[in-house]
């Protein structure tokens, strides 16, 4: 057994780097959700224990900062469907006050999706400070 499967997340918040780099059509609808479904057991374990989850991911390869085309907000409807018994929230950035405040106020059983990490060049460069 892994330490993860033995840990009880009740009352804890888990920050998880997920691979939600999924293909979207012209209407921003996910055309293949395999990567999202792969994260479900991990997320569900934490929620079932009574914890909350903060998800961070990248989507695409934005070159010049925030770009509508690469916003993770387009994944929200699908994520809400996948976890329909839980509240799914979104932060319009992955750093800064909004992300911090929403993370702090997250309640047990809630999910927070942070905006695309790749809106910051530091993410792709592996900047330790980022």
| Three-state secondary structure call for residue 23 | coil
Question: Which pLDDT tens digit goes with each residue over 60-112?
Answer: 988 888 889 999 999 999 999 999 999 999 999 999 999 999 999 999 999 99
Dihedral sign for Cα 17, 55, 21, 96, please.
negative
User: What is the predicted pLDDT for the residue at 127?
Assistant: 66
| Three-state secondary structure call for residue 114 | strand
In the CATH scheme, what architecture does the domain 3-125 have?
Answer: 3-Layer(aba) Sandwich (3.40)
Question: What's the rounded Cα separation, in Å, for the pair 27 and 74?
Answer: 9
User: What is the predicted pLDDT for the residue at 109?
Assistant: 97
Dihedral sign for Cα 43, 73, 95, 88, please.
negative
Question: Which pLDDT tens digit goes with each residue over 6-37?
Answer: 999 999 999 999 999 999 999 999 999 999 99
User: What is the predicted pLDDT for the residue at 54?
Assistant: 98
- Report the predicted TM-score, pTM, of the whole model to 2 decimal places: 0.92
Taking CA atoms, 130 is separated from 38, 95, 119, in Å, by: 26, 9, 12
Give the other-Cβ count within 10 Å of 21's Cβ: 16
| Burial class of 93 by CB neighbour count within 10 A (0 to 12, 13 to 18, 19+) | middle
Domain range annotation of the chain: 3-125
Segment holding 41, helix H or strand E:
helix 34-49
């Amino acid at each position: 057994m892994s330490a993860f499967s033995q840990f009880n997340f009740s009352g804890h918040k888990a920050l998880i780097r997920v691979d939600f780099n999924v293909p979207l059509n012209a209407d921003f609808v996910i055309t293949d959700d395999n990567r999202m479904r792969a994260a479900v057991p991990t997320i569900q374990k934490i929620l079932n224990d009574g914890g909350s989850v903060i998800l961070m991911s990248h989507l695409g390869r934005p070159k010049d900062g925030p770009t509508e085309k690469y916003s993770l907000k387009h994944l929200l409807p699908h994520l809400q469907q996948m976890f329909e018994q839980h509240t799914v929230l979104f932060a319009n950035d992955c750093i800064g006050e909004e992300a911090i405040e929403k993370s702090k106020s997250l309640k047990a059983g809630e999910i927070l999706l942070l905006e695309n990490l790749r809106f910051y060049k530091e993410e792709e460069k592996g900047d330790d400070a980022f």
